[in-house]
Amino acid sequence: MITVKAPGKLYIAGEYAVLEPGHPALIVALDRFITVSLVETQEQGSINSRQYLETDFHWRRNGDRMVFDNRDNPYHYILEAIRIVEALALEMGRSLRVFDLNINSQLEDQGGRKYGLGSSAAVTVATVKALCEFYQLPLNRLDIFKLAAIAHFNVQGNGSLGDIAASVFGGWIAFSTFDKDWLRTVLKNNSFAQIIASDWPGLKIELLKVPHELELLIGWTGSPASTSHLVDRITIAKFAEKQQYQDFLNASRHCVEAMIKGIKEAKLSVVKDGIRLNRQLIKGLGVFSNVAIETPALAELCQIAEDHGGAAKSSGAGGGDCGIVLTDQTVDQARLISDWNRHQITTLPLTVFELTGASV
């Protein structure tokens, strides 16, 4: 039996701007995992997951047709990951076989509600890793990222794929996305072996060593959100409010680049100030896009953290899910958490997941 795992993630800064090449984000991998176990079988295989039995299907009306949205359905990411890896396996002369996949996720609560930790990315990465081991494909971590990114992008159609990078490399990373139009073009005309051997225009993944004084607290509002749907709405604003969107991109890039420099130079005040500035930039994006990125619950989470000296903001696409707080020795975390509890904000007991020997 083959067993692999991939961690969940949270965005620290740079959300939405990271959708555009050349605009970095800070992302962290966390010690909650999706585990995939693979067993070879004869004649008939299966895909099993206790957590995904109650997965919702979303659909809309297009004239007289029902059009289904597969982007929140984990099985579509799993099936696409299988398709991509097996296509590469055939290119490399492997014979395809039959197997059972068993999936176990720690990225939801006991009722099946997502925490917003990147479950679709983690299940894609774990599936790719398991199948590459099964077919004995000699791939490095960057190759795994590229295969998982292709599979995830084929299903979701938007997103930066930074969550894929966090699940593959672990730890704290600075990430800039690649040119999606380039990927669409090469997928039509090239083998998967050629594509993963290529340099991807715009792609940057840098592992960061964060000062040990800087600590991360994560609060969960209890309200799951759909990243795909929120990104769709921001994309509309991108074309409707071109100048404001460009101003947002430029400001976000300068902010996150300053934070990365602050991390490298161990200047905690610079990093915390960057969190606060990035929060305001994203709130401004929500205003001119008419998208509720920072919900009232997230605003309350942030205000409580700021009252205790932490630097706080929503994480990821917003609209619910998690907020993050950067603290240091000046912050009384116990009192902060106690105040969160009084306002029905759940503290997630998560720590950063580092991969030994990880490199890009």
Show the 3-state SS of 61-104: EECCEEEEECCCCHHHHHHHHHHHHHHHHHHCCCCCCEEEEEEE
Question: Which one of 190, 208, 226 terminates a domain?
Answer: 208
Are 196 and 219 within one domain? no
Q: In this structure, is residue 21 part of a structural domain?
A: yes
- 68 — pLDDT class (breaks 50, 70, 90): low
What whole-number distance in Å separates Cα of residue 286 and Cα of residue 13?
15
Q: In this structure, is residue 355 part of a structural domain?
A: no
- 72 — pLDDT class (breaks 50, 70, 90): low
What pLDDT score does 189 carry?
92
Are 179 and 269 within one domain? no
What pLDDT score does 352 carry?
95
Are 188 and 301 within one domain? no
Q: In this structure, is residue 354 part of a structural domain?
A: no
Are 156 and 44 within one domain? yes
Q: Is the pLDDT of residue 24 over 60?
A: yes
Q: In this structure, is residue 291 part of a structural domain?
A: yes
Q: In this structure, is residue 98 part of a structural domain?
A: yes
What pLDDT score does 70 carry?
57
Q: What is the pLDDT of residues 267-320, one digit of tens each?
A: 999 999 999 999 999 999 999 888 889 999 999 999 999 999 999 999 998 888
Are 6 and 116 within one domain? yes
Q: Is the pLDDT of residue 64 over 70?
A: no
Are 85 and 25 within one domain? yes
Are 237 and 204 within one domain? no
Which is nearest to 209 in space by CA: 171, 165, 255, 167? 171
Question: Which one of 208, 224, 247 terminates a domain?
Answer: 208
What pLDDT score does 69 carry?
55
Domain that holds residue 297: 215-347
Cβ-proximal residues to 76 (8 Å cutoff; 6+ apart), any chain: 70, 155
Q: Is the pLDDT of residue 192 over 50?
A: yes
Are 201 and 220 within one domain? no
Total-model pTM: 0.90
Q: What is the pLDDT of residues 97-129, one digit of tens each?
A: 999 999 999 887 766 677 778 889 999 999 999
Are 15 and 126 within one domain? yes
Q: In this structure, is residue 326 part of a structural domain?
A: yes
Which is nearest to 228 in space by CA: 69, 30, 111, 17? 69
Are 181 and 321 within one domain? no
Cβ-proximal residues to 313 (8 Å cutoff; 6+ apart), any chain: 13, 275, 276, 278, 279, 282, 302, 323, 324
Q: In this structure, is residue 359 part of a structural domain?
A: no
Question: Which one of 208, 226, 253 terminates a domain?
Answer: 208
Number of domains in the chain: 2
Q: In this structure, is residue 357 part of a structural domain?
A: no
Taking the alpha carbons at both ends of the chain, their separation in whole angstroms is 28
Q: What is the CATH number of the domain that holds 24?
A: 3.30.230.10
Are 170 and 273 within one domain? no
Are 188 and 284 within one domain? no
Q: What is the CATH number of the domain that holds 263?
A: 3.30.70.890
Write the DSSP assignment of 177-233 as a string of letters. Answer: ---HHHHHHHHHHS-HHHHHHSPPTT-EEEEE---TT-EEEEEE-S----HHHHHHH
Q: What is the mean pLDDT of residues 33-50?
A: 91
Q: For the chain, give the mean pLDDT.
A: 91
What pLDDT score does 57 carry?
47
Which is nearest to 179 in space by CA: 207, 149, 155? 149
